[in-house]
Amino acid sequence: MKVLGIETSCDECAAAVVEDGRNVLSNVVATQIPFHAPFNGVVPEIASRKHTEWIYAVVREALDKAGIGPGDLGAVAVTSRPGLLGSLIVGLSFAKAFAWARGIPLVAVDHMKAHLYASRLRKAESPDEDPPPEYPFLGLLVSGGHTIICRADGFDDITVLGTTIDDAVGEAFDKVAKHYNLGYPGGAVIDRLAREGDDGAFRFPMPSLHKGEHRHDVSYSGLKNAVINQLGQFRVKKDAENHGEPRPEDIAASFQKTAVEILLRALFNAADDSGLSTVVAGGGVAANSRLRERLAERRNLRGVFPPPEFCGDNGAMIAGIGYQYLARGDRSPMSVTASARVEGFKKRYP
């Protein structure tokens, strides 16, 4: 069955067609980055307006690229939570109208569970690679709004083992980049700059969360504060070529090193404690090159990452997980609504 997936939870207006929950026939992502870049962050009202303007054309293009018409679709899947409310409502309302007009089922899905599903997708034109990872595995969900270490026993059966007690990891990347005017969005820029920098130029502190009930949790506000407000205190080396001024490349490399180590310390604790030896990553930060390298170095732990185009927000992961709900008989009513937050993901910390 071919499912249309619609994703408008933040600043990407996205639609895709996926067959049988795995084969991606098209994946269209219209990014709003140029419209938010002058503000160094997503402006919710601009995001909702752009989704309203673009959603029809994005869906149309997803169908055209898949080489199908609306009548070939078996169902519509759409993100209904979590995200920016005004943005979610655009995609959700469009999906409802589409499903009603075609007389096909609608299924509203969770954006973060969809991120974890992304590694099960394959591009239709690529030869059949590795089979999808078998459950159970450890999930590492890392985005602009969430940092979750979980145990996944099924596509919809997720137990949160650890989370951030303050900022999300992607948020820390974005805020550091914003403060030093490195560019927007921050994660990809820092990842790129870090390759030219010395990761030993600054030695930033790690949070002391490695014991007791916080063994699987992370914290980023201390690191963010150190990099933004107390940079000089953590300087190890001075760069003569830059007249003693800190080089943005060195700040990026040293920050990224610590940000990744914070994540991996909690993840490795969760792997040791759970006995699970496969980690499936998802979310925008899963595109980070250092995270991928460091995880690959760890013995006895297999890291599974979605292809880069399925790490950030996209409609394919929505259509993919949507198919699984449909296959077990789930349907969403036409009264289904959007939610900005999902309780379970910040279980212990409101």
- Closest CB to ligand KG4 among 25 and 317? 317
Least distance from Zn ion to the Cβ atom of residue 145, Å: 7
In the numeric block, which tokens belong to residue 290? 């250092």
Tell me: does residue 143 bind Zn ion (CB under 5 A). yes
Least distance from Zn ion to the Cβ atom of residue 169, Å: 12
Cβ contact 293:152 at 8 Å: no
232-261: which residues touch Zn ion (CB under 5 A)? none
- The identity of residue 17, as a single letter, is V
296-315: which residues touch Zn ion (CB under 5 A)? 313
| Alpha helices (H) along 103-233 | 111-117, 169-179, 186-194, 221-229
Name the residue among 122, 167, 160, 117 with its Cα closest to residue 283: 117
Region from 118-126, 136-144, 149-157, 285-293 binding Zn ion, contact rule CB under 5 A: 136-144
- Closest CB to ligand KG4 among 139 and 185? 185
> Helix or strand or coil: residue 225?
helix
Residue 82 partner contact from ligand KG4, Zn ion, none using kind-dependent CB cut-offs of 5 to 8 Å: none
Least distance from ligand KG4 to the Cβ atom of residue 319, Å: 16
Torsion angle of the four alpha carbons 325, 326, 331, 332, in this order, in degrees rounded to the nearest 10: 60
Site of interaction with ligand KG4 (CB under 6 A): 10, 143-145, 170, 173-174, 185-188, 191, 283-285, 287-288, 312-313
Report which DSSP code applies to 2: E
Residue 197 partner contact from Zn ion, ligand KG4, none using kind-dependent CB cut-offs of 5 to 8 Å: none
Q: Based on DSSP, count helices (H) and strands (E) in the chain, helices before strands.
A: 10, 11
Residue 315 partner contact from ligand KG4, Zn ion, none using kind-dependent CB cut-offs of 5 to 8 Å: none
Per-position DSSP letters for 109-129, written without gaps between them: EEHHHHHHHGGG-EETTS---
Applying CB under 5 A, the residues found at the interface with Zn ion are 143, 313
